[in-house]
């Protein structure tokens, strides 16, 4: 009787070992899934930070450009007032003409420098947006695959556990039967 209790205890330990093995495997798989979700979330957050950075750069460039125009306008007005009060209208007209030529030069310099920079920034921003959308699509597909695969794997693990327990029980019964014939 004591031997029978010891045998049942060993059987229970074996069952627990088999269950423990597959439960550990399942927990490891869940850890991988959770890690993937975390990486996906961090990736999406990085895209949002990058998008915010591009927007700030663009806003800052536009603000700098507006401030430069405002300062130039104020400077010209002050110079025009000083010239007009000191030298009269003739010199003021000459100053206005030179300002018009200077405006043309500044406009061309901006076209050569600022416009390509803005266009490049715009292209980078659009590329980042397309890449973000593609990544979101891939992440969505991965999430869908995980959701579909998880119950299938759980069913598979339950079937494996049941099958192994069945094999173990059959082996144990066969062993007991074989041993009982020798006793």
What pLDDT sits at residue 13? 64
Residue 124 has pLDDT above 90, yes or no: no
Q: For residue range 68-116, what is the model confidence (pLDDT) as tens digits?
A: 889 888 988 888 888 888 877 888 888 888 888 888 888 888 888 888 8
Q: How far is CA 152 from CA 30, 66, 98, in A?
A: 13, 60, 79
Q: For residue range 3-60, what is the model confidence (pLDDT) as tens digits?
A: 455 555 555 666 677 788 888 988 998 999 999 999 999 999 999 999 899 889 889 9
What pLDDT sits at residue 155? 93
Distance CA 161, CA 171 (A): 15
Helix/strand number for the chain, H first, E second: 2, 0
Residue 133 has pLDDT above 90, yes or no: yes
Distance CA 139, CA 134 (A): 9
What pLDDT sits at residue 125? 86
What pLDDT sits at residue 72? 86
Token pair for residue 77? 């007005």
* H helix or E strand, kind and range, residue 137: helix 89-182
What pLDDT sits at residue 48? 92
What pLDDT sits at residue 6? 54
Token pair for residue 65? 């450009």
What pLDDT sits at residue 21? 85
Distance CA 170, CA 91 (A): 112
Q: Are the beta carbons of 139 and 44 closer than 8 angstroms?
A: yes
Q: For residue range 141-175, what is the model confidence (pLDDT) as tens digits?
A: 999 999 999 999 989 988 998 888 888 888 888 88
Distance CA 113, CA 101 (A): 18
Question: Which of 48, 31, 33 is closest to 135 using CA atoms?
Answer: 48
């Amino acid at each position: 009787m004591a031997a029978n209790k010891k045998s049942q205890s060993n059987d229970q330990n074996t069952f627990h070992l088999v269950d423990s093995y597959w439960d550990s495997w399942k927990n490891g798989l869940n850890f991988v899934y959770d890690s993937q979700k975390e990486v996906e979330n961090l990736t999406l957050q990085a895209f949002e930070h990058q998008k915010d950075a591009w927007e700030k750069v663009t806003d800052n460039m536009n603000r700098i450009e507006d401030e430069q125009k405002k300062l130039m306008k104020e400077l010209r007005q002050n110079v025009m007032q000083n010239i007009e009060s000191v030298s009269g209208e003739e010199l003021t007209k000459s100053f206005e003409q030179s300002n018009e030529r200077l405006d043309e030069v500044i406009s061309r310099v901006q076209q050569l420098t600022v416009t390509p920079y803005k266009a490049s920034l715009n292209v980078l921003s659009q590329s980042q947006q397309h890449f973000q959308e593609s990544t979101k699509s891939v992440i969505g597909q991965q999430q869908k695959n995980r959701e579909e695969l998880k119950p299938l794997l759980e069913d598979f693990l339950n079937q494996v556990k049941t099958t192994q327990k069945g094999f173990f029980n059959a082996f144990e019964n066969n062993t007991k039967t074989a041993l009982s014939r020798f006793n």
